[in-house]
Amino acid sequence: MSISPLQKARYAYQPKLPKILQNDIRNVAIEYGKETESVSDQEKIRAMFPCTYGMKEISFKAAASSASDRKQVVGVILSGGQAPGGHNVITGLYDALKKSSKDNVLLGFKGGPSGLIEDSFIEFTDDFINQYRNTGGFDIIGSGRTKLETVEQFKKVDEVAKKHGLTAIVIIGGDDSNTNAAVLAEYLKANGSQVQVIGCPKTIDGDLKNDVIETSFGFDTACKTYSELIGNIERDANSAKKYWHFIKVMGRSASHIALECALECQPNICLVGEEVQEKNQSMMDIVNYISSVVAARAERGDNFGVAIVPEGLIEFIPEVKSLIAKLNDLLAANEKEFNALSGFAAQYDFILSKLDAADVKVFSSLPEDIQKQLLMDRDPHGNVQVSRIETEKLLITMVAKRLDEMKAEGKYCGKFNALNHFFGYEGRCAFPSNFDADYCYSLGYNAFLLIANGLTGYMSVVTGLSEGPAAWKAGGMPITKMMNIERRHGEDKPVIRKALVRLDGKPFKYFESQRKKWEIETCFTFPGAIQYYGPEEVCDITTRTLALEMGK
């Protein structure tokens, strides 16, 4: 297989580890912290997780280890959407296992959780795993979105674990995937199994974090990839001076990516879904805001600009969010009847007959294309697939109409030519940045220490990330600490709470302080491509979000 010069060079890159993980594994000891409780719904979560609720946070320190020296046979899966660095979590786990004992085994189950249920696996070897070091993608074993939630599935996993003599299972995934990890850990422990379950925090959306988890892996690389593209478009816009570019970026349930890209590139407009929700803004409020910025720039002779739109914006607009929630429940409760309908007209009439007057008004006001997109198949968790909703096109259409009205009123005299873009898959499998390569390798390496110390139901945690890797700290956090109850498929389910953009947080506050200037003036910045070799201040720099949160 032919490889590029960059890929060859990245194979040779040795990820940097926290100082504590550089120690001989026999000289790393566990230190227990305080007991934990879930972020909300404590009594309900406690009742659902009687065996794994309330466990203590832990950290690792340099001291004689009390970890088990038994042979470890560990299974690992990649779950959910791809994120740069997933391969390095696996290589870090593999290297830690083999450093402890050459007899230790790592099995990769293919295609996500389904591979664990169907017993589809590969045993990793040096030659095989070396082909994936510091590379993007999840192609080493593939991924999947099968949800582990039924007793039948748990029993099958238990059977597969016993067949291979598994001592532990590592689930690399986002909020839903790590909810799977928590539920599986609870089932196995409740049923007397000694198989441990450890999670690793993955998602480019950046919404899997809390007071302990500073960022999820992949966010750094994805944002840098999108920011390069946005910077390129900004340069083009400032060169041609005739187009408004509406750019939708990934982030279904939180606007972290949009905000980070705005901090990196300084566009004229960046919509933050959490702010839209907090201010109870309607669709027309958003359209009027964008139109006012377009008109103000036109007065300066600047009939061009860049607007960043988060993928999940439409779910943050209160009137539309309410509609979507009711559609989710309605379609879950009437799935067979709805699917039997032929043609959109019949579906439209059926939906209107089930909604109240306020929701009918909102649904009827949307363009037909958007109505159809709201009624498309749900994702595996019962939610509308917002990435398929062309919010950026909807905004262009509505802004153009509003500008025509403003022109008739004598309030606008410019030209509005708009282009739309969606940056999503472009960022999910990029070569991981040095930060993500180091962070992910550390997460995998640290996962082995959690296993060796007999822990289950924990997430691998590495902190102090705004400093250099040598200063990072390693430990673990009970997954149940992050959980709450949410409505899924018309039922209450325990899930990890998504971390939204904090409007009182330093990243948003900085953006807010600069917004008025960026709206009117052309303040574009151009991050350029991710750099892998050169000065640390260029190659190892982290996101603006993390730097601001950590006071940098």
> For the chain, what are the domain ranges?
30-58+67-218+432-488, 222-427+504-549
CA gap 276, 266 in Å, rounded? 19
Lookup: tokens for 15: 């990820």
Domain boundaries 30-58+67-218+432-488, CATH class: alpha beta
Half-sphere exposure of 485 (CA within 13 A, CB side): 13
CA gap 409, 220 in Å, rounded? 45
- Bridge-based pairing of strands 483-488 and 458-463 is unpaired
**One fold for 30-58+67-218+432-488 and 222-427+504-549:** yes
pTM confidence score = 0.93
Give me the pLDDT at residue 252, please: 82
Half-sphere exposure of 487 (CA within 13 A, CB side): 10
- Based on its alpha-carbon atoms, the radius of gyration of the chain, rounded to whole angstroms, reads 24
Lookup: tokens for 168: 């532990």
- How far lies 328's CA from each of 105, 286, 321, 344, 374, in Å? 43, 24, 11, 17, 9
Give me the pLDDT at residue 382, please: 63
Domain spanning 222-427+504-549 has what CATH number?
3.40.50.460
- Please indicate whether residue 205 is annotated as part of the active site: yes
Residues of the chain falling short of pLDDT 50? none
Give me the pLDDT at residue 1, please: 60
CA gap 125, 122 in Å, rounded? 9
CA gap 519, 512 in Å, rounded? 11
- How far lies 112's CA from each of 143, 290, 399, 416, 461, in Å? 4, 41, 42, 46, 22
| Residues facing 200 on adjacent strands | 172
CB 492 within 8 A of CB 486: yes
What is the enclosing helix (H) or strand (E) of 486? strand 483-488
Question: Active site residue: 205, 207, 220, 438, which one?
Answer: 205
CB 108 within 8 A of CB 122: yes
Question: What are the two backbone dihedrals, phi and then psi, of residue 464, each rounded to the nearest 5 degrees?
Answer: 75, 30
CA gap 90, 230 in Å, rounded? 31
Give me the pLDDT at residue 366, please: 84
CA gap 264, 221 in Å, rounded? 13
Give me the torsion for CA of 372, 374, 375, 380, rounded to 10°: 140
